[in-house]
Structure 1
Amino acid sequence: MCQAHRQQYGFDAISAMPTNLFGPNDNFDPEKSHVLPGMISEAIRICVNNDLREKNDIEIVVWGTGTPSREFLHCDALADAALFFMQNYSDPSHIKVGSGKEITMKQLAELVKEMVGFEGEIQYDPSKPDGTMKKLLDSSKLVAMGWDPKIKFKEDLVDAYQRYLDNFEVEDFLTCSD
């Protein structure tokens, strides 16, 4: 559509394709969220339920084998990239926006476990789908233009966790089924 508007009306539109995004206003719903906010909310829910029910054998279950990798980008980095495009890019072809870094589902689960202070085990359920084994965008065109994604994944992950804690009550964690 951007290319058609460019050709027909001379409109300098840019089509950007971002990788998996996270950040403020993420959807933490246990049944509708994406993987990163879903892992955070599930780990917190299990920790709260574990503390209240004094169960010592609770575990976090991650779908699949834990081997697929994903690329994540904080939404603020996408906003930064959008400003960069407006100032430095005017080509008709779309441009990919990513961090250039990937993390396996196992590594992500371990980071979330550590962040929320969960002391139980992480189990992987290979009867559930892994999904695509690798999702990493080639953002080299954007980086070659001079954009720096300024990746601080662990800090941004902690920020997402804190936002979740700031916006939900303990009772919200208990409404999820075990």
Structure 2
Amino acid sequence: MIAIINTGCANINSVRFAFERLNCPTQVISQPEQLAHFDRAVLPGVGHASVAMKRLIDGGWQSAITEYQKPLMGICLGMQLLCESTEEGHIDTLGLIPGKVSLLETGQLTSPHMGWNNLHVESAHALTQGLLASDQVYFVHSFAHSVNSATLVSGEYGERFSAIVAKDNFAGMQFHPERSAKVGARLLTNFIEWRI
């Protein structure tokens, strides 16, 4: 069973329904001490990073997530919170995945980056199984993780950025797999099947 961490900073129902469509049971948890009882977990998030990080700290989630040794994936803002720091609010984040999050330099393109976009596999990994160059996923973000050694998949919108990252048992997807149709379902299945 997958724990969906509820910090009050995400629409968790869309994530829950996406896993249910894959016949994967989930439970929304609101207490950090519950986390250790689950085989894997998801940290969804939308909104402002400093608000979300404050809720993690105030709710006692920081140590529970840091000490978790099973697969845990952040989605959108949840992914950014797993990284080292972010320019959004100029704060340190959980530091579980190498790299900093900064404002996405979109150039002449509209910000935020919102809509369907292609992916480029940088490194083979269990989380990228079956991903094709023609596949597209749905993004909504203004800040992005730099491409570095933790990057499994990159995207491009004005500049290259990390779309999927992983280090040890922690991973993140900048886009919304729960809103990315068949491609998103495949990527969530990869997470369900990911073995550390």
Q: TM-score per shorter chain, which class?
A: under 0.3
Q: Which has the higher strand share?
A: 2
Greater RCO (CA < 8 Å, at least 6 residues apart): 1
Q: Which has the higher helix share?
A: 1
Q: TM-score, normalised by structure 2?
A: 0.24
Task: Specify the structure having the higher radius of gyration (Cα).
Answer: 1
